[in-house]
Amino acid sequence: MLKAHLIFSTPLTISLFDCATGRPYLQTEYYDVMTVISPPEFG
């Protein structure tokens, strides 16, 4: 599972942390990331 942390800056950057591998990485594609996140996770 991926947990996304929204970081509002210029440009907009989303910091993702992979719990499976424990490896944090940056993703600049906002909409691509949103498609990865499972809606049920947020109720």
pLDDT for the residue numbered 12: 45
pLDDT in tens, the chain (43 residues): 455 555 544 444 455 555 565 555 555 444 455 555 555 555 4
Taking CA atoms, 24 is separated from 19, 27, 37, in Å, by 9, 10, 15
pLDDT for the residue numbered 26: 53
pLDDT for the residue numbered 40: 57
CA distance 13 to 42: 20
Q: What's the one-letter identity of residue 20?
A: A
The pTM is what? 0.17
CA distance 1 to 40: 12
Q: 24 and 15 in contact (C-beta within 8 Å)?
A: yes
pLDDT for the residue numbered 18: 55
Taking the domains of the chain in order of start, what are their residue ranges?
Answer: 2-38
Who's near 35: CB < 8 A, 6+ residues apart?
A: none
